[in-house]
Structure 1
Amino acid sequence: MDATVLVVPVATLFAFTQLRGTMPGAPTGFGAIIDFVGTLPTLAFLVITTMFCLFYFLVKS
């Protein structure tokens, strides 16, 4: 497995929130609730998945 498999989802997750903040005419707190409700659980899921992947590679080798 390549390391980019774990890096790309995290980068994409934060890229969408930053892209929405740069939209012209967007209010200051635009999407703050959506970011908190959507990004935090997704990030937690990615961390758990990463821990399982690392555990597998450590046990396998």
Structure 2
Amino acid sequence: MWDWLEADEVADVERHGMNSLAVIRAWRRWQAARRSYAADVGKPEAQACGPMGRPALG
């Protein structure tokens, strides 16, 4: 998930962990990118992007 955080959001996540609002914003950006990619290739999300349901901090 770190790749989806803006530079200013990283410090907030490091301070507040998964309770940070930055996590929600990154999650929404990730979902939008996943949906967009699946639409671009004309496949269902799970087939285009794999079964991973959410990004992880690790």
TM exceeding 0.5: no
TM-score of the superposition, structure 2-length normalised? Answer: 0.43
Q: Write 1 or 2 for the structure with the bigger share of helix.
A: 1
TM-score of the superposition, structure 1-length normalised? Answer: 0.41
RCO comparison, higher one (Cα < 8 Å, 6+): 1
Larger radius of gyration: 1
